């Protein structure tokens, strides 16, 4: 496993639609392992392959519902993910991104989603997610379509500033 460099705006790969994964070979397994290690070191709760300069439809997510940081977190490695259900109920939440360091923004997202994709072996999986886990999946899957949270946010600001003083981002 190796830590990969996280690319930042204005890298073109962040704005392209990623390619579908068709082979779950050793190269794919290495990419998945490297992405998990990179996400954990960053630290982050999710990472999409375009963020490590690989235009493939792969995301990794690691999140625990417990407030206790020592509580176990669940790791998801999902190839070719797609959201097949969005709840009508939406919630506003603050998001940041490893590819846009130092900034945050408010984003309206579905409270619940159902994600279909493939696991590390290429077998079909289905994940029901709600609250922050649903937000993380929506954020990471957006990356695979070249969409960043700043595209969905009405307010973006520098992290050390207050949310009511938005700062435009040139992108």
The residue with tokens 């994940």 is 127
Task: Report which of 18, 169, 10 is spatially closest to residue 103, judged by C-alpha positions.
Answer: 169
Cis peptide before 136 (omega within 30 of 0): no
Active-site amino acid positions: 140
Contact between 59 and 81 under an 8 Å Cβ cutoff? The reply is yes
Task: Report which of 67, 60, 18 is spatially closest to residue 39, judged by C-alpha positions.
Answer: 60
Instruction: Name the token pair of 101.
Output: 């360091």
Sign of the CA dihedral running 24, 40, 56, 106:
positive
């Amino acid at each position: 496993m190796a830590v990969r460099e996280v690319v930042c705006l204005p890298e073109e790969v962040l704005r392209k639609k990623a390619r579908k994964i068709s082979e779950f070979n050793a190269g794919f397994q290495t990419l998945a392992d490297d992405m998990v290690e990179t996400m954990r070191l960053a630290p982050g709760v999710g990472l999409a392959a375009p963020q490590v300069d690989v235009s493939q439809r792969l995301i990794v997510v690691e999140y625990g519902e417990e407030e206790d940081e020592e509580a176990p977190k669940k790791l998801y490695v999902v190839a070719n993910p797609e959201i097949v259900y969005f709840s009508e109920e939406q919630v506003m939440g603050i998001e940041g991104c490893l590819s846009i360091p130092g900034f945050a923004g408010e984003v309206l997202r579905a409270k619940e989603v159902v994600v279909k994709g493939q696991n590390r072996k290429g077998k079909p999986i289905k994940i029901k997610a709600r609250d922050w886990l649903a937000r993380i999946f929506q954020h990471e899957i957006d990356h695979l379509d070249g969409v960043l949270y700043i595209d969905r946010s009405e307010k973006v600001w520098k992290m050390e500033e207050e949310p009511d003083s938005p700062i435009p981002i040139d992108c």
